[in-house]
């Protein structure tokens, strides 16, 4: 279903709301820029990417990695850097949140760029963050079994 993949069907932001959004973004930046190096996409998926901002990937991938990651975890575009998705994997593993990497993140709605993600959650434009993940290892195990069964059926 389209609504599972995009937020494009959500009502546009009115000029009045944009002003409020800019105001809230100021406070959001105080927390999220130093902690996560937030890139202001307005559609925050930090909670599903091990609290590493996926928008620091030069290709701005929301579902990664791209396939060009080096064997040592280096980025295809900037080989001197580690791939953002490699970091996301390590951090998700550390925090026992690997099962969230199986979730497909929605295609970015560029209209939400430089808007407050907090306001967008409140307005139900984007999903609320997932703070707690229970039984991460069991979920991942089930997903791997499902995946293997699907492949065997092909
Ligand atoms: S290697 Fe990783 S960080 Fe670099 S472009 Fe690909 S997904 Fe993005």
Average pLDDT over residues 20-35: 96
Share of the chain above pLDDT 90, in %: 71
Instruction: Name the percent of the chain in helix, strand, coil, to the closest 5.
Output: 50, 5, 50
Three-state DSSP class for 69? coil
Tokens of 15: 């000029």
d(CA 47, CA 75): 22
Give pLDDT, residue 1.
62
d(CA 79, CA 56): 14
Domain count, the chain: 1
Nearest CA to ligand 1 atom 8: 57
Average pLDDT over residues 114-138: 91
Checking if the pLDDT of 7 tops 70, the result is: yes
Give pLDDT, residue 76.
97
C-alpha 55 – ligand 1 centre gap (Å): 10
Checking if the pLDDT of 83 tops 90, the result is: yes
Nearest to 119 by CA among 52, 26, 46: 26
Range of the domain at 72: 2-153
Give the Å distances, CA to CA, from 8 to 13, 33, 61, 135: 12, 26, 18, 33
Pocket of ligand 1 (CB under 6 A): 57-59, 61, 64-66, 68-69, 75-77, 83-85
pLDDT digits (tens, 9 = 90+) for 87-112: 999 999 999 999 999 989 999 999 89
Residue to mutate, 77, 80, 86, ligand 1, most ligand atoms under 8 Å from C-beta: 77
């Amino acid at each position: 279903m389209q609504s599972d993949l995009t937020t494009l069907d959500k009502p546009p932001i009115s000029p009045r709301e944009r002003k409020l959004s800019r105001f809230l973004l100021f406070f959001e930046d105080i927390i999220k820029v130093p902690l996560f190096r937030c890139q202001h996409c307005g559609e925050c998926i930090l909670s599903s990417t091990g609290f590493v901002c996926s928008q620091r990937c030069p290709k701005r991938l929301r579902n990664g990695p791209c396939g060009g990651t080096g064997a040592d975890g280096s980025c295809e575009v900037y080989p001197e850097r580690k791939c953002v998705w490699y970091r996301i994997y390590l951090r998700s593993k550390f925090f026992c949140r690997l099962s969230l990497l199986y979730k497909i993140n929605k295609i970015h709605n560029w209209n939400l760029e430089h808007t407050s993600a907090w306001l967008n959650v409140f307005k139900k434009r984007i999903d609320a963050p997932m703070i707690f993940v229970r039984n991460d290892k069991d979920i991942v195990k089930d997903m791997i079994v499902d995946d293997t069964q699907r492949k065997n059926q092909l």
